[in-house]
């Protein structure tokens, strides 16, 4: 039984159908299940909440049968029992001939799963690195195609789209690029920590894509990656009367780049969308506590 929570969202009981390694530290997990017939999304950067089992569990513990009371009941479960919740962006979905969703893809960045990693892997990286067909997950996602967890909304009159994202925004930017119309001018910057994660991205748009390979060197601080700001300051954007900017990734970097586009380039702040997917030095649990 799946129960609606805050419409237009609901829970979906799903299972892994297959996985595929995309790069040095990227893996795609494909999910399926009968519940997906109720999954609807037309967004390019659709946000999802994914619930993963604790070690030793066959499925994640999420009391969604309680309806609106699920959140408090989930928080009250013991730490080693409560399902791990992480936020992700839908990479893609596939529908059958009747228009029902039958599969969705979620891409994971694997951090710390190597034996010599300086920082241990988080629970989502550990899970994704060993995920196999049949593994069970629970998803909190959209039951209505146009919902508030979609942030990319380029105005119809946009004559230039500018994108920036780190590895956590790669699924969203990949999806955005695929969906943009032919001929629309696009300038995109993608920052990755390993050149092995660079991908060939398909788009009908007139897109120029720049990859920035960034390795941790202790220089970031609260203001994010200085390399990202330097690259954008040096960039010559095409002349445009109605540009639209979408920025997503680490919160400090996103805020810094938004100030650049609004304050230094004079772009109307109403045409700049910025999304902090994560914050340096804080886990998702800590971020949620602060919120």
Domains defined along the chain, listed by start: 9-146 (2.40.30.10), 160-278 (3.40.50.80)
How far CA 263 is from CA of 23, 88, 91, 232, 233, in Å, comes to: 36, 30, 32, 13, 12
What pTM, to 2 d.p., does this model score? 0.89
Given a cut of 90, whether residue 145 has pLDDT beyond it is yes
- pLDDT in the model for residue 288: 59
Mean pLDDT to the nearest integer, 132-136: 98
149 touches 36 (CB < 8 A): no
Residue 35 DSSP SS3: helix
Mean pLDDT to the nearest integer, 31-38: 97
Averaged pLDDT score across all residues of the chain: 89
159 touches 241 (CB < 8 A): yes
Q: How remote is the C-alpha of 171 from its chain's centroid?
A: 6
How far CA 198 is from CA of 84, 140, 214, 277, 282, in Å, comes to: 29, 29, 12, 20, 26
147 touches 43 (CB < 8 A): yes
pLDDT classification of 2: cutoffs 50, 70, 90: very low
């Amino acid at each position: 039984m799946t129960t609606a929570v805050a419409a237009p969202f609901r829970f979906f009981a799903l299972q892994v159908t297959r996985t595929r390694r995309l790069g040095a530290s990227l893996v795609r997990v494909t999910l399926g299940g009968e519940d997906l017939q109720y999954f609807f999304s037309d967004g390019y950067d659709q946000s999802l909440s994914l619930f993963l089992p604790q070690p030793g569990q066959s499925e994640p513990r999420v009391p969604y049968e309680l309806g609106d009371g699920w959140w408090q009941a989930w928080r009250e479960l013991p730490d080693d029992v409560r399902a791990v919740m992480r936020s992700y962006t839908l990479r893609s979905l596939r529908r059958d001939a009747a228009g029902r969703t039958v599969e969705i893809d979620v891409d994971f960045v694997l951090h710390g799963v190597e034996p010599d990693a300086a920082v241990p892997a988080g629970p989502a990286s550990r899970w994704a690195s060993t995920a196999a067909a049949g593994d069970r997950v629970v998803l909190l996602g959209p039951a209505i195609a146009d919902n508030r967890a979609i942030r990319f909304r380029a105005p119809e009159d946009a004559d230039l789209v500018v994108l920036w994202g780190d590895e956590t925004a790669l699924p969203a930017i990949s999806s955005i690029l695929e969906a943009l119309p032919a001929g629309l001018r696009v300038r995109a910057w993608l920052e990755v920590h390993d050149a092995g994660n660079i991908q060939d991205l398909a788009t009908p748009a007139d897109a120029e894509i720049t990859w920035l390979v960034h390795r941790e060197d202790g220089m970031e601080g609260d203001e994010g990656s200085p390399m990202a700001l330097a690259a954008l300051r040096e960039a010559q954007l095409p002349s445009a009367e109605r540009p639209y900017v979408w920025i997503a990734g680490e919160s400090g970097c996103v805020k810094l780049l938004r100030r650049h586009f609004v304050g230094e380039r004079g772009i109307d702040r109403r045409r700049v969308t910025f999304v902090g997917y994560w914050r340096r030095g804080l886990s998702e649990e800590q971020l949620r506590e602060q919120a």
